[in-house]
Chain A
Amino acid sequence: DAGITQSPRHKVTETGTPVTLRCHQTENHRYMYWYRQDPGHGLRLIHYSYGVKDTDKGEVSDGYSVSRSKTEDFLLTLESATSSQTSVYFCAIRTRETEAFFGQGTRLTVV
């Protein structure tokens, strides 16, 4: 079974501070995704990666950057956190052509 670990699981940070969320997979799946989930909006794609150092923007990428220096790790960075970035963040991997496997999420609160 595919394994994904997101860290941290919970974080409270102050407005204007940088924050990095980590997603680690135990297999070598090519595609990795970062989503945010907010009430009434479902899951919205922030950024995705299709290989080491290969990333692209999703529909809500403003204020976020990503990096993928190794196949197993996909990092999401909020350069200067804002209250509008308070959300639950999910990492996912594409285990098959038509299947996304999700991590347990990171609850981020920006105060």
Chain B
Amino acid sequence: TQLLEQSPQFLSIQEGENLTVYCNSSSVFSSLQWYRQEPGEGPVLLVTVVTGGEVKKLKRLTFQFGDARKDSSLHITAAQPGDTGLYLCAGTNGQNFVFGPGTRLSVLP
């Protein structure tokens, strides 16, 4: 069974601070995705990383895929209250998506 672990589980920071959350696995995935979920809604895709070592930027968010394709990180620069939510990583391998337990981020104004 392929598992994804995420850390930290919870993170509470002040507006303007930087943060990094991590997604790790003992398995190799063909791709990893990051989703953000707000209360009462389904997860929404932020980005997909496919190539080992790949870095993608989405405004203040920077995503990196590990060289061995077993881990990924999400860095947020100058966090804003609108970044508050549950961040989920997911891996694809074959027909299914495997999700990590998520990092719950709270950005305080």
**Which residues of A come within 8 Å of B, CB atoms?**
31, 33, 35, 40-45, 48, 50, 56, 58-59, 90, 92, 94, 97-105
Contacts and interface: CB of A to CB of B under 8 A. Distances in A.
Given A31-B95, A97-B92, A105 B41 contact: yes
Contact of A99 (B45, B95, B99, B100): B45
Contacts of B101: 40-42
Interface residues of B, number: 24
A98 B96 contact: no
B1 A99 contact: no
A102 B102 contact: no
Contacts of B90: 43, 100
B78 interface: no
A58 B101 CA distance: 16
A58 B96 contact: yes
